[in-house]
C-alpha cells in the first residue's frame, strides 16, 4: 500500500497538463495513473480542478544566516518558501557572515540551517579575490556552483573579481566541471545616482552595464569551456548576445525574476521596488517575456533579497536594493503569464524544471516516477490581495502590497508529507 495518493484533473506533468493520480511511498513518486485511478493508499486526496504542480525550485535566495539573521533566516525564509509552493531552494553565498567562500564557512552555514528548514536547502559557493584554492574543496563538499560579481556586491566581505581573477576562476571551475553564476554589470558603466528618485537610480545602472558584462561572460565561457549562468537578467539589450551564444552551442544560460516580469519602472514609487539590476520599462519587460517563450531565458527565480525595514527607508539613492518574494513568486508569475497566453506547464518549466536542471538538484523539478514527492496544490483561478502581514519572511516589506494576484497555493507536500521538515541538499554529480 502507498502512503499517499493525490488526484487532480489538472496535474502538470513533464509532457503536459492532464488528469492524473500520483502515488507516493517512502517520500518518492511510485506511479502516475490515469485520473481517478491509482492503487490503494493510506491517505487519498482528490483536488478536483485544483492543479497539482511539482514543487518549485528556487536557485536564487539570500537567507543571510548566520551573521545577518536580523535580515532573514532559515526558519522564516523556508516557511515563506513552503507557503509559496517552493520545496527546494539554494542559498546564495553572500550577505551571511561569514560568506560561503571556504569549507569552514560552508560548515557554519550548514550548522545554522540544520533542523531549521521547512523545505530542502542547498548552498552556492562564492568566487572572490584570494579564494581560488578553496573552489575545488567547496565543489567536493557539494556546493551547487560558484557565484561571482563583476561589480560591487554591496557588502565589503564579498568583493568583485577583476578581469584576471575572473578568468582564473573560470578556468579553475571548468577544470572540475563546475558551474559559475554571475552577477553581470560592468562597473565602468555604473555611477552614483544623480538624485533620490527612481529615474535617477535607473539611469545610474543602464542596460549597457548588463550587456557589456554579459558579453564578457560569454567570451570567457567560450575560451575556458566553463558552464556559465547569468543571474537576474533585467536588460533586454542582452538578449541577442544570449541568443547567439545559444545558437553557437556555448554552455551559457540566463534567468530572470518575477519583479522584472510583473513590475515596471513607470510604477516604481517606493523603495520596495529597488533592486540591482533595476526594474526597467514596460517595453523592456515584454521583450523578457518573449525571450522566455523563445527559450533564450530558461529560468524564473526570485532573487529573494531581504533586509531590515530600516535599510529600505530613505530614497532610491540610499535604500538597500533587494526584493523579497519567496512566498509570492508563483502567483506573481502566473498572474502575468496567463495574461500573455502562457499555461501552467510553461510556468512549471521556468520555475521548477529548468532551475532543477541548471543546478543538478537531485530528485526535483517534475512529477515523475522516482522523483521526490514534492507537490503543490495550486488553485489557478483563485484571486487574493497581497497583505504584507500575511507574509512569512522576516520583514513584511514588498512592492506587491495591495496588488491583486491570481493563483493561490493551497497545500505544499515535501516528500509526501506537509512541508515542514526540510533536509540539506548536496549537488548531484553529473
pLDDT in tens, 249-271: 999 999 999 999 999 999 999 99
* Domain edges within the chain: 2-52+371-384+405-418, 55-359
Q: What angle do CA 352, 247, 361 make, to 5 degrees?
A: 25
The DSSP annotation for 338-375 comes to HHTT--HHHHHIIIIIHHHHHHT-TT-SS--TTSB--E
* Predicted pLDDT at 38: 87
As a whole number of Å, the CA-based R_g of the chain is 21
**Bridge partners, residue 363, by sequence:** none
Distance, in Å, from the CA atom of 175 to the CA atom of 185, rounded to the nearest integer, reads 25
For cell 526594474, the residue is 279
276-314 in b/e burial notation, b at 16+ Cβ within 10 A?
Answer: bbbbbeeebbeebbebbeeebbbbbbbbbbbbeeebbee
Residue 1: partners with Cβ closer than 8 Å, 6 or more residues away = 39, 40, 41, 42
- Residue 245 contacts by C-beta under 8 Å, 6 or more apart in sequence? 218, 221, 222, 252
Q: Apex CA 309: angle with CA 258 and CA 259, to 5°?
A: 10
Return the C-alpha cell found at 253. 544560460
CB of 84 closer than 8 Å to CB of 301: no
Q: Find where cell 564578457 sits.
A: 216
CATH class of 55-359: alpha beta
Asked if residue 37 lies in contact with residue 8, where contact means CB atoms within 8 angstroms, the answer is no
C-alpha cell at 130: 584570494
Regions in the chain scoring below 50 on pLDDT: none
Distance CA 237, CA 176 (A): 32
Q: List alpha helices for 114-188, DSSP H.
A: 132-140, 163-175
Question: 377 has which bridge partners?
Answer: 52, 411
> Are the C-beta atoms of residues 378 and 407 closer than 8 Å to each other?
yes
Asked whether the beta carbons of 82 and 419 are under 8 A apart, the reply is yes
Fold of 2-52+371-384+405-418: Urease, subunit C; domain 1 (2.30.40)
Cis status of the peptide bond prior to 98, with omega within 30 of 0 = yes
Other C-beta atoms closer than 10 Å to the C-beta of 180 total 25
Q: Which of 84, 144, 201, 152 is nearest to 359 (CA)?
A: 144
pLDDT at residue 429, as a whole number: 72
Measured distance CA(231)–CA(144) in Å, rounded: 14
Q: Which residues are within 8 A (CB) of 45 and not within 5 positions of it... i.e. 6 or more apart?
A: 4, 5, 6, 7, 377
Amino acid at each position: 500500500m502507498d502512503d499517499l495518493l493525490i488526484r487532480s484533473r489538472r496535474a502538470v506533468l513533464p509532457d503536459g497538463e492532464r488528469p492524473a493520480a500520483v502515488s507516493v511511498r517512502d517520500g518518492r513518486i511510485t506511479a502516475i495513473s490515469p485520473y481517478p485511478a491509482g492503487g490503494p493508499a493510506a491517505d487519498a486526496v482528490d483536488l478536483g480542478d485544483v492543479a497539482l504542480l511539482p514543487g518549485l525550485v528556487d536557485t536564487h535566495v539570500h537567507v543571510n544566516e548566520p551573521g545577518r539573521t536580523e535580515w532573514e533566516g532559515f526558519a522564516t525564509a523556508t516557511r515563506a518558501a513552503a507557503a509559496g509552493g517552493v520545496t527546494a531552494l539554494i542559498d546564495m553565498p553572500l550577505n551571511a557572515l561569514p560568506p560561503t567562500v571556504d569549507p569552514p564557512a560552508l560548515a557554519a552555514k550548514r550548522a545554522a540551517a540544520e533542523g531549521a528548514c521547512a523545505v530542502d536547502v542547498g548552498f552556492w559557493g562564492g568566487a572572490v579575490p584570494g579564494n581560488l584554492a578553496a573552489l575545488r574543496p567547496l565543489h567536493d563538499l557539494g556546493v551547487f556552483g560558484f557565484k561571482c560579481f563583476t561589480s560591487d556586491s554591496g557588502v565589503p566581505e564579498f568583493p568583485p573579481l577583476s578581469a584576471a581573477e575572473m578568468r582564473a576562476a573560470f578556468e579553475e571551475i571548468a577544470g572540475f566541471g563546475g558551474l559559475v553564476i554571475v552577477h553581470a554589470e560592468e562597473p565602468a558603466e555604473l555611477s552614483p545616482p544623480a538624485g533620490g528618485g527612481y529615474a535617477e537610480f535607473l539611469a545610474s545602472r543602464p542596460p549597457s552595464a548588463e550587456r557589456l558584462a554579459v558579453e564578457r561572460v560569454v567570451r570567457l565561457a567560450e575560451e575556458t569551456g566553463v558552464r556559465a549562468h547569468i543571474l537576474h537578467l533585467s536588460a533586454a539589450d542582452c538578449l541577442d548576445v544570449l541568443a547567439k551564444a545559444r545558437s553557437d552551442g556555448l554552455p551559457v544560460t540566463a534567468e530572470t525574476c518575477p519583479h522584472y516580469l510583473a513590475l515596471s519602472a513607470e510604477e516604481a514609487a517606493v523603495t520596495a521596488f529597488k533592486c540591482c539590476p533595476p526594474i526597467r520599462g514596460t517595453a523592456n519587460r515584454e521583450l523578457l517575456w518573449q525571450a522566455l517563450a523563445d527559450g533564450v531565458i530558461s529560468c524564473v527565480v526570485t532573487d529573494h533579497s531581504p533586509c531590515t525595514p530600516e535599510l529600505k527607508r530613505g530614497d532610491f539613492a540610499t535604500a538597500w536594493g533587494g526584493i523579497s518574494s519567496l512566498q509570492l513568486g508563483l502567483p506573481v508569475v502566473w498572474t502575468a503569464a496567463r495574461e500573455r497566453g502562457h499555461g501552467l506547464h510553461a510556468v512549471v518549466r521556468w520555475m521548477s524544471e529548468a532551475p532543477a536542471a541548471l543546478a543538478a538538484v537531485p530528485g526535483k523539478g517534475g512529477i515523475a516516477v522516482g522523483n521526490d514527492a514534492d507537490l503543490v496544490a495550486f488553485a489557478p483561478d483563485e484571486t487574493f490581495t497581497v497583505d504584507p502581514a500575511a507574509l512569512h519572511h522576516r520583514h513584511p516589506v514588498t512592492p506587491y502590497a495591495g496588488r491583486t494576484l491570481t493563483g493561490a497555493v493551497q497545500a505544499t507536500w515535501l516528500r509526501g508529507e506537509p512541508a515542514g521538515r526540510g533536509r540539506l541538499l548536496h549537488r548531484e554529480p553529473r
